[in-house]
Structure 1
């Protein structure tokens, strides 16, 4: 393996006006990115340290539209090869890749915040290219349609490289994947998401597709079980060769799926979760959300109960799934308490286990409180929420039951109306989409698509969300143009401002903002199981 001294002549070519820290980073790049001869794992610590130095250079370059993507992809591909060579196991590789991705995001954020300019980013990338022997292309060259970092590196990509095949994209079709529950307690929510996405895809296809290509959705079932999610992701990516993912269901499942997507630099678009696992700051480059966060929904519910319903904070409890989904809801409630100047240490949380309806321990815990509970904020899936409301109806007389949108509005309404109108009446659900009974242009388009492609399928909040997220993605695909690849699509998404779908809410993305919507709608069930709109503030 070559040593530090072996690289001194080349290092002397660097611009001496740049900082010593930057020269050190490039020297490390020379030491490590040059093909390794040590045994796998010997250089893992050095590679992890280097990821925090090379990553910001790559990220800054990615944030500058005038720097051609194949140049950046060639560097990324070489560094990914280093990560593979230095790793003892898949776990080591995954962890180091996440560190590299995070440092790339830091570099992008530096440009977005004005701490770095694109001229300096270009100079740093050129230095890094010379250090590792990557071809230095003209800064303004247009990117090719390479599938991503690995293919670009393998081809020694430059701006003159012929377009390479893109995974999941042919001259006639673009294939997306979605991992949702199609069996088990949450199968209806999974089915509805699929219906909504396919309704939007079908509507686009009947109008000629996107830039001449038809859209296709392939769905894999993980039964809302994170132990099955990875196999489902692999099935879609490796066997079905999908271009990207859209509408994956769940929080604990997203915690498994997102690292898989990030390692492969594949789009993970609009998962059905409001948890922080999909909302890092700065955002993960390949992860985009449509819906508001659970923290935003919980904040709206706390304010509604305290300010409009006049419920004393000490008489509000939280019923939550005992996992990261429930933790996200609790964090949102705690944040809302602090914002109101309240003590979040006093919040009473009771739990149930994912994929069960075992709510008795939670009910007993609430019944045992000396101060009666007057309202319960619920961070649960539909069957567990319905069972809880059924048991709590008599145990907590007069209590208000308020749910975040992930409960699955229609599924919850169906469960409660089967029990009787007294169980449904007054139950509140926040929504990430407008009322399905409304007359906005988007809702009317959605209903028309349902009527044509899914005759007899009633309008539903979950399928409407699937339709909206797919509609945003379709617009991005159109804007990205004929020469489609993942990096071009990501850049397009980050440039989309004031997206007008006819929702009556402002939707925007940016380099530092990968969540399109912050709008929360309020609804309340009546005795017939129909949701009526309510004001939350």
Structure 2
């Protein structure tokens, strides 16, 4: 399935060759909202830069190909972007199973793989992979934050359960969560209640049944999945009178989950790797202004579009620090040379030769009245009574 859009992020003619970047993402299928929003955010950052003359007078161009969240499509897409379109870097790809295929192709070609929307540990090696540059915190950090908050709220560790997608994404989230539970005294992974469902399906009934039958009954369920099947699962749980607190990692896209659940969304907790989009952080004002320049993209800002915008801004900061020719190797060197930097998130960011994940910050949010609202992790105790 090929869907391509070659987008120069600003109008106007320029005889100079543009700086061309590529993205393989889900523009169709069950997580299309994430791919569309990530694309919108990166595009907004590029358009903002192009309106100010680009980078040393060269405009930025973004070529996006649809992979439908399928690894079998992501591989050919990335090869095409690298070999045919000759992009300088792959930017903002969405998803763990697709990244597991795409990142090695980029690495073998010496092409930077920057800011993928995945927190999987496979992209966070020690020492780091030279060509993989991450912005977001890991899934292990997200699930660890949730487990710690739940235990602090008085939920016994052996009554915290997981429902995960049956692939590398789900495995990454469960691995981080199970390690956190071990810190809290759950000695064996096999003692953790764990249901799974197949990627790109809505077949969540079996996973829910596994948890309903588990003893002791889970008081909290951490979801590591896509928004549509997670929404179905939460609805089914309520129909089955299965009282539990639901939490999800950021990949679920909280706005999409809230829309899918409607009036049944209240009380669902979602971890975030960006600050509240309506908050006072300077990056939010800049994000909104950049989105406004995309006249064909008039939707409200979302956490995913903000993540894409931050990834685009991070790349631009590196590009502007390249003293000579802008090529693939120069981009890697520039990213590693950023050191500590500030993009207005209110938290420190850092990239270096031994640190290829810029942020380790985790925020908490809760869906209330159809809206995604910020909360403190200590408020999980109060949230337990709202579902």
Same fold (TM over 0.5): yes
- Structure 1 gaps of 5+ residues are 1-169
Cα separation, partners in 2 of 1:305 and 1:394, compared to 1, 3 Å: farther
Aligned residue for 1:284? Answer: 129
TM-score, with structure 1 as normaliser:
0.66
* Cα displacement (A) at 1:240: 1.6
Which string of whole-angstrom CA distances, capped at 9 and with x for unpartnered residues, describes residues 95-123 of structure 1?
A: xxxxxxxxxxxxxxxxxxxxxxxxxxxxx
Aligned position for 1:335: 179
Tell me the SS of whatever aligns to 2:335. Answer: helix
**Which of 42, 46, 49 is residue 201 of structure 1 equivalent to?**
46
Alignment match, 1:349 = 194
The whole-number CA distance in structure 1 between the counterparts of 2:20 and 2:323 is: 16
Distance 1:344 1:438, change over 3 A: farther
> Which of 232, 238, 251 is the aligned partner of 2:77?
232
Alpha-carbon displacement from aligned partner over 1:442-470 (angstroms, at most 9, x marks no partner): 11000111122145211101010000011
CA contact (8 A) 1:266 1:486 kept: yes
Matches of 2:333 and 2:109, distance apart in 1: 17
CA contact (8 A) 1:254 1:277 kept: no
In structure 2, the residue corresponding to 1:176 is in which secondary structure?
A: strand
Moved over 4 A (4+): none
- What SS class does the counterpart of residue 41 from structure 2 fall into? helix
Instruction: List gaps (5 residues or longer) in structure 2.
Output: 1-14, 379-387
Which residue among 316, 322, 347 is the counterpart of 1:480? 322
Q: Does 1:442 align with 2:287?
A: no
Shift of 1:344: 4.1
Larger relative strand fraction: 2
**Separation in structure 1 between the aligned mates of residue 57 and residue 192 of structure 2, nearest angstrom:** 54
**Aligned pair partner of 2:249 in 399, 404, 409:** 404
Residue 208 of structure 2 aligns to a residue whose secondary structure is helix
Report what 2:310 is aligned to: 468
Match of 1:273 among 112, 118, 135: 118
Larger helix proportion of the pair: 1
- Where do residues 499-514 of structure 1 align in structure 2 (5 Å cutoff)? 499-514=341-356
Counterpart secondary structure, 2:292: helix
Take 1:245 and 1:344, find their aligned partners in 2: how far apart are those partners? Answer: 39
Q: Secondary structure at the match of 1:243?
A: coil
Query: Cα offset for 1:536?
Result: 1.6
Q: Which residue, out of 256, 268, 272, partners 1:431?
A: 272
| Aligned counterparts of 2:102 and 2:242: Cα–Cα separation in 1 | 41
Match of 1:179 in 2: 24
The answer (yes or no) to whether the contact 1:363–1:395 under 8 Å persists in 2 is no
Query: Which of 167, 177, 181 is equivalent to 1:323?
Result: 167
- Which residue in the other structure is 1:116 paired with? none
**Does structure 2 retain, via aligned residues, the 8 Å contact 1:373–1:396?**
no
Measure how far apart 1:405 and its partner are: 0.4
Query: Who is 2:158 aligned against?
Result: 314
Deviation per residue, 1:475-533 (Å, 9 max, x gap): 00001134212222211111212211110011001111100000001000002x11111
Give the deviation of 1:343 after TM superposition.
2.0
Matches within 5 A, 1:117-132: none
2:299 maps to: 457
Equivalenced residue count is: 362
Matched, 1:263 2:108: yes
Structure possessing the higher relative contact order (Cα contacts under 8 Å, 6 or more residues apart): 2
| Distance across 1 between alignment mates of 2:135 and 2:94 | 13
1:517 is matched with which residue? 359
Distance 1:210 1:520 in 2: 31
The DSSP-based 3-state class of the residue aligned with 1:216 is: strand
* Cα gap change, 1:214 to 1:229, in 2 (>3 Å): same
Is 1:382 the equivalent of 2:223?
no
Q: TM-score w.r.t. structure 2 length?
A: 0.91
Pair 1:531 & 2:372 matched = yes
Whole-angstrom distance in 2 between the partners of 1:377 and 1:289 = 24
Q: CA deviation at 1:370?
A: 3.3
What SS is found at the alignment partner of 2:374? strand
